[in-house]
Chain A
Amino acid sequence: MDVFIQTLVSGILIGGIYALVGLGMTLIMGVMRIINLAHGQLMMVAMYITFVLYEYLNIDPYFSLLVSMPALFLLGVLIQKYLLNPLLRIESIIPQNQILMTVGVAMVLTEVMRFIFHSDYKSVKTPYSSAVLYISSIAFNFPMLIAFGIAMILTAGLFFFLLKTDTGKSVRATAQNKDAALLLGVNAEWITQLTYGLGAALAAAAGTLLLPIYYLYPDVGGPFTLKAFIITVLGGLGSTVGAIMGGLVLGVAESLGATYISMALKDAVGMVIFVLVLVFMPGGLKTLTKV
């Protein structure tokens, strides 16, 4: 029983970070109707920024959120402005042009990082990296707890932004109907840039939060891109509430899979869930909640 609860707890904790990754992806999906296959790679860039800040300036990973998030926001805005938006005006045979563009961006980001930092595994070892909190016999990894907490704060902040501010409402309006939003005076071009920037910033937050408990190498982005789209589809494309649930479900499912099936099949669990959801519940979890 203890093993089961422990598995559940670590699944939920990592699920909080997954939710952050998924939220960014689902925002981009909702507004632009594209799948951002560079999402994990953006996260990887943020991880390297955090790593450099820690290694050379000795800045605590949690403080470097204040650097990595704005930096990735800017990078996201630039990618959207100069690489993705111009494609809307080009006629082509292959409809999924923008998705392919994000693949190109992903490759370039990975390789540039490999060029600078080489393929070595890196990690940030803070004094509290392996600190553990015990509640009866269940262990809570301390950095995981902090990461989960910050992830929840950021999620709440995002919801406040989307629901209460004018810009946030414009984002939702653009997601619902781009043409109508344009007619009502929403600067849709800027909104798409803002959304991609926000998505990138959320991915950056997830990366920075994950760094003290994870390790870092240039190819770390790929698996997270896959996870991000599993979460997005699991939650229902474009649904923010769905993405949070999707993140938690994936975290728990992976952790159960690792404990009870096999460590090697941990990643396959997500894929199988993904295909099952696509086939049996194409709307994702959001169809269950009607949000």
Chain B
Amino acid sequence: MKPNHWSKIIIVLFLAIFPLIVPSDYYRHIFILALMWVVIGSSWNLLAGYTGQVSFGHAAFFGVGAYTAGLCVTKLHISAWWGMLLAGPVSMVVAFFIGCICFRLRGPYFNLATLAIAEILRLTAIVWRDLTEGMQGILIMRTFRNKTYYYYFALILAAACIYAIYRVIRSKWGYYFVAIREDQDAAESMGISSFRYKTFSLLISSFFTGLAGAFYMNYMGFIDPEVVFSLYFISIMAILVAIIGGAGTIWGPAVGAFIMVLLQETFRSSFFGLFPKWVSQAHVLVFGLLVIFVIRYMTNGIVGDWVKIQRLWSKNKEQPLASTGS
């Protein structure tokens, strides 16, 4: 695994000096979004990839985080950056109640319950005008004009998130999580309280997703319920990011986030203007095709199926098939 380590260090170094060597605000913007998705994808992955609870409603936490930051400005009249402190705990409180409802359910029931609760929050945010301004959304002044600050902020957030999840996975909790994923009843019979550890997993996951939401508010300066509680562009996107990179691996969602955001941006800009305009309408279509392709042929994602991909490239069939995980 030595060369692998080196490539990781190079990537981290590259990310650290990226805004200094690339002066274009546009590319910084794309990388900031990608880093934000690293956070969301990784936290979804902790809950789904490691604990086996596939949530279709991570937009709930993202939206709550974003609105926490937004409401700091409109209701408390303090800086939206205080939202970065508050969003995590607030999302955790919301997540706790969601967990109390959803963790009574398993499998498809759980998926649907999370989806439904995210939708309820979206509709609430639309209707409760006194608090959230409804569909008008919340508009705030951005603190910095220079994107470099936001970039480093996102980078620190992503690094902290991945490191925290890495530590959790390597701790006793991580093994409990995986045990619950593999067989909940067996885990219960070994004395692991599945409700308690699923809740812990959800709390950590929602904490970081909420932070990402608050960051989004600070960075974009504008939110409305359809954006931050979106089923397709937040909840499903979080799933895609993790699945394409590789669910149940530490680096998978990070890889997936960059692939998804770059791909999305490539298509949205019609291959940076090289292709005719209609190509830009196809970016969601490409998403869908990618989902179908990845689930059909690369179920464990790029990181999870890396060995398989390497074998395809080298055509060397004699390489032993190592177990997945990085």
Does B117 sit within 8 A of A, measured CB to CB? yes
Per the 8 Å Cβ criterion, residues 110-153 of B in contact with A are 111-113, 115-117, 119-120, 123-124, 126-127
Please tell me if A185 contacts chain B, counting CB pairs below 8 Å: no
Interface residues of A in 76-117 (CB under 8 A from B): 83, 86-87, 90-97, 99-101, 103-108, 110-112, 114-115
Report the interface size for chain B: residues with CB under 8 A from the other chain. 45
Interface residue? A168 (CB, 8 A): no
Q: Which residues of A sit under 8 angstroms from B287, Cβ to Cβ?
A: 107
**Does A233 interact with chain B (Cβ within 8 Å)?**
yes
Does A226 have its Cβ within 8 Å of any Cβ on chain B? yes
Choose among B104, B117, B287, B288 the residue with the greatest number of A CB atoms under 10 Å from its CB. Answer: B288
Closest to A94 in B: B247
- What residue of chain A has the Cβ atom nearest to residue B98's Cβ? A275
Could you tell me the distance between the alpha carbons of A120 and B232 in the complex, rounded to whole angstroms? 20
Measured CA separation A93–B182 after assembly (Å) = 9
Chain A, 42-78, CB within 8 A of any chain B CB: none
Q: A103-B236, A103-B291, A274-B116 are in contact. List 19 more A-B contacts (CB 8 A).
A: A83-B292, A86-B296, A87-B299, A93-B299, A94-B48, A97-B299, A100-B291, A101-B292, A103-B239, A104-B290, A108-B292, A115-B282, A233-B109, A264-B123, A268-B120, A275-B113, A275-B116, A278-B105, A278-B116
A108 / chain B contacts, CB cutoff of 8 Å: 285, 288-289, 292
A95 touches B296 (CB 8 A): no
Q: How far is the CA of A107 from the CA of B52 in the complex (A)?
A: 24
Partner of A96, one of B108, B284, B296: B108
Determine the distance from Cα of A265 to Cα of B127 in the docked complex, in whole angstroms. Answer: 7
Q: Are B109 and A87 in contact (CB under 8 A)?
A: no
Q: Is B83 among interface residues, defined by CB-CB distance under 8 A?
A: no
B180 within 8 A of A: no
Q: How far is the CB of A271 from chain B (nearest CB, A)?
A: 5
User: Which of B54, B101, B115, B289 is within 8 Å of A95, CB to CB?
Assistant: B54
Inter-chain contact B299/A92, CB cutoff 8 Å = yes
Q: In the complex, A106 Cα to B49 Cα: how many Å?
A: 23
Residues of A247-266 contacting chain B, CB below 8 A: 262, 264-265
Given A229-B112, A271-B116, check contact A92 B300 (CB 8 Å).
yes
Instruction: Tell me the smallest distance from the CB of A170 to a CB of chain B, in Å.
Output: 24
Q: Is B295 an interface residue (CB 8 A)?
A: yes
20 CB-based A-B contacts, threshold 8 Å? A92-B300, A95-B52, A96-B107, A101-B292, A105-B288, A105-B292, A106-B288, A107-B287, A108-B285, A108-B288, A110-B288, A111-B284, A222-B231, A268-B119, A271-B117, A275-B120, A278-B112, A279-B104, A282-B104, A282-B105
A34 at the interface (CB under 8 A from B): yes
Please tell me which one of the listed residues B112, B123, B281, B284 contacts residue A233 in the complex, with CB atoms under 8 A apart. Answer: B112
Residues of B with C-beta under 8 A to A86: 296
Known contacts A83-B292, A268-B127, A278-B105, A35 near B112 by CB under 8 Å: yes
**Docked CA distance A237–B239 (Å):** 24
The reply on B243 being an interface residue by CB < 8 A is yes
Give chain B nearest CB distance to A227 CB in angstroms: 11
**Cβ-defined contact, A282 with B123, below 8 A:** no
CB of B123 within 8 A of CB of A104, answer: no
A97 to B300, CA, bound (A): 10
A272 interface hit (Cβ, 8 Å): yes
Q: B225-243: contact bitstring with A at CB < 8 Å (1 yes, 0 no)? A: 0000001100010010001
